[in-house]
Amino acid sequence: MVRPHLTVFDVLAIKGNRKLRLTTSPFGITPEQYEHDPPVYIGSAVVWKGVKGMDKLRAINSAVADGLQRAIAISKKYAGVKGTVLFNGKLYPKKCIEQKKR
């Protein structure tokens, strides 16, 4: 795989372009490789990248807007939850686990 050589200007240009996105992926490599040298991919962004406001988002994709509103409501409900919880043998923020129960 060829790693793209990106400058700060490249990253800012991609960030400002609604049609592009930068991402990494842990698939096909070890956790150590991902932690120290994750592969970077430039790809097509979702059509709602950078859209501000629920009404504008709903006009583009109502299902995404509905899901986002639900996620925001759940997050607000558990805003004051602090601490950590052991879940499936790993330590997670308690807020995260409470949100998963919903």
Token pair belonging to 64:
């995404």
- Phi first, then psi, for residue 66 (nearest 5°) are -60, -45
pLDDT grade, residue 102 (50/70/90)? low
pLDDT digits (tens, 9 = 90+) for 62-91: 999 999 998 889 888 888 889 998 888 888
pTM: 0.55
For 18-67, what is each residue's pLDDT tens digit? 888 888 877 788 888 888 888 888 888 888 888 999 999 999 999 999 99
